[in-house]
Amino acid sequence: MCGRFSLATLPNTLARQFGVMDIPALPARYNIAPSQDIAVVRAGTGGRECTLLHWGLVPAWSKEPKTRYRTINARAETVAAKPAYRDAFRRRRCLVPATGFYEWQQQGDTRVPHYICMQDGGLFAFAGLWEHWQQGERTLDSCTLIVTEANRLMAPIHARMPVIIAPPQYADWLDPGNTDREHLQSLLVPWTATPMEAWPVSRLVNNPRHDSARCMARAGDD
């Protein structure tokens, strides 16, 4: 699963990489957690847009705007068929910009947090889905991240990792008119392109109230 990540980049870098013009105020975040609003890039009426959505997908058919913790992630293997995600997979795909993410490695009776990022420290994008919920005048736009099996770097830490979409595939993933399920599914694989790196961090990241660069510092250096 992916339950925490970071996004610390300049607005013009994000605009350039994702082809969007208007960027909402995005202060550097180092410990983004479920139930918070997160930046996503999606297809809008006038082209791509960057907006803030609630992390924890609420299906359109839900009676209440409440999310269960498990809706923060959707499994790549079943996302096209699960009732909570299948309509969004067909029509409402999005990208979630990030500069790194966290995962916890089981070591005996303890779980050790690790930070994972690109070796060049660059910006990348998770595969996501978004949904619009409405009951009367109440509305909520929410999202989930898609996860797949771990790559070789991640496997010793955790069995799963978020799907990362390569820039040449952004257009295919975001296009709501793209109904090629086989092609879309082919994008939901472990990342093997740009080299990644991982290191253990302090348990400071366990508490979402801690949101500073100290969360991603190597254990012992913070």
The residues annotated with a catalytic role in the active site are: 2, 103
Which among 193, 98, 104, 111 is positioned nearest to 152, based on CA atoms? 193
Q: Within 13 Å and on the Cβ side, how many CA atoms surround 165?
A: 29
- Residue 76 near residue 159, CB atoms below 8 Å: no
d(CA 118, CA 193): 10
Sheet strand arrangement including 29-32: 29-32, 5-7, 100-107, 110-118, 196-200
C-alpha distances in Å from residue 129, one per residue of 34, 55, 56, 157: 15, 10, 10, 25
DSSP one-letter code for 96: E
Rounded CA separation 54/69 (Å): 12
Strand pairing of 47-55 and 138-149?
parallel
Rounded to whole angstroms, how far apart are CA atoms 103 and 159? Answer: 10
